[in-house]
């Protein structure tokens, strides 16, 4: 059917609207629907043209929107060309003019499922038409059917791939061909070998741990390792003095205390890093601040000066050894004024541990008192 229309009648009516599409997928989908879907739909329904009813008019509007999007360079010209090609015999020139005016103000972007609702196409119809790329289905809003179909398709494709790449060999390790008694003996021998290695590992520590724990764990070295290092530092002095006074033996021992260290002892990094004079006052103030936070771990901490001083004396040597190892690793040397400035942060962690230990002791004490009172009753 050919309809003669004067193009100037539409060209001079209203300026063409500008089309700016961010995604070319709209254009590709619209062109596919115009070229494939409508012809496949007519063939699937056994129709020669679009029917003259409400659904037919909705389909023509849908076609006009698709033609508008499919031709970004000349949308109105594209609408007129595609409608002349696909319009049924009952669609007149006046209808085409009205349709063009509708397209000028329409901004509908049709999704796959919306297109399927207009054409009344189910999932089975879409598969039979071979148009799943261009339209969706009107009976699968949750997409459950399409997901199940995709899983079945993927499984079939995976089976074909496995069959194509298969060597027809039984999966897993090849059988050893052992009898039940031989298999049991082999299993027992393997278990015995594993236990033997575990026992040997428990009895013999790692060689790296024998040399230096700090080099393995990157933490502070133990008391024995640190004392061994001090022993190595003063060995020449011990040898020279032992020749003059063989009856007197010097036992070097690391000691960090409040105040100045003894001048007769060897000068080491730990001995030089004595506890600051105002450390006890700062520790008491820190305990008060931590206790005021209301945390259950630190609520029972004591601010008694002697108690705080004993806690600091237990904390300080290990902290100095740890910072000495860290400073030597990163800076090459240890400087107390530089490396011990942030001792309060580490001491706060120590306070949390002390608070937990105190809470555990108090809990055990309460339970013991309760049991004793129940026993007396």
Summarize pLDDT for 139-171 with one digit per residue, the tens. Answer: 888 989 999 999 999 999 999 998 888 877 777
Q: What is the mean pLDDT of the chain?
A: 75
CA distance to 36, 84, 377, per residue, from 1 (Å): 20, 8, 111
- In this prediction the pTM is 0.39
The lowest-confidence range among 102-106, 127-131, 203-207, 241-245 is 241-245
Q: How far apart are CA 56 and CA 131, in angstroms?
A: 20
CA distance to 221, 235, 240, 268, 279, per residue, from 251 (Å): 20, 11, 15, 15, 30
Q: Which pLDDT does position 294 carry in this prediction?
A: 65
Q: Which pLDDT does position 199 carry in this prediction?
A: 85
Evaluate if residue 23 carries a pLDDT over 70: no
Q: Look up residue 276 and give its two tokens.
A: 């600051």
Mean pLDDT throughout 299-307? 78
């Amino acid at each position: 059917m050919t309809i003669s229309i004067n193009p100037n009648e539409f060209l001079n009516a209203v300026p063409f609207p500008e089309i700016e599409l961010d995604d070319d997928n709209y254009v590709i989908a619209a062109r596919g629907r115009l070229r494939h879907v409508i012809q496949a739909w007519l063939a699937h329904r056994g129709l020669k043209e679009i029917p003259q009813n409400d659904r037919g008019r909705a389909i023509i509007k849908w076609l006009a929107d698709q033609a508008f999007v499919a031709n970004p360079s000349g949308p109105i010209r594209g609408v007129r060309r595609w409608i002349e090609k696909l319009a049924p015999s009952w669609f007149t020139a006046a209808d085409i003019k009205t349709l063009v005016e509708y397209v000028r103000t329409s901004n509908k972007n049709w999704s796959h499922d919306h297109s399927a609702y207009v054409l009344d196409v189910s999932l089975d119809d879409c598969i039979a038409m071979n148009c799943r790329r261009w339209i969706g289905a009107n009976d699968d809003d949750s997409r459950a059917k399409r997901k199940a179909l995709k899983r079945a398709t993927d499984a079939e494709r995976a089976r074909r791939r496995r069959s194509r790449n298969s060597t027809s060999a039984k999966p897993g390790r090849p059988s050893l061909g052992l009898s039940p008694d031989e298999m049991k003996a082999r299993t027992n021998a393997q278990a015995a070998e594993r236990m033997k290695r575990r026992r040997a590992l428990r009895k013999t520590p790692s060689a790296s741990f024998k040399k230096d724990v700090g080099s393995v764990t990157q933490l502070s070295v133990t008391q024995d390792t640190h004392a061994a290092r001090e022993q190595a530092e003063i060995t020449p002095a011990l040898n020279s003095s032992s020749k003059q006074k063989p009856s007197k033996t010097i036992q070097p021992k690391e000691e960090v205390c409040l105040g100045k260290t003894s001048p007769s002892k060897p000068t080491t990094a730990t001995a030089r890093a004595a506890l600051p004079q105002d450390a006890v006052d700062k520790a008491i103030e820190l305990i008060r601040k931590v206790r005021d936070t209301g945390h259950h771990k630190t609520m029972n901490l004591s601010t008694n000066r002697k108690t705080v001083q004993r806690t600091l004396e237990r904390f300080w040597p290990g902290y100095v050894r740890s910072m000495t190892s860290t400073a030597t690793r990163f800076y090459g040397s240890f400087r107390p004024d530089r490396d011990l400035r942030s001792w309060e942060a580490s001491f706060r962690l120590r306070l949390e541990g002390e608070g937990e230990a105190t809470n555990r002791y108090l809990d055990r004490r309460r339970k013991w008192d309760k049991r004793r009172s129940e026993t007396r009753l």
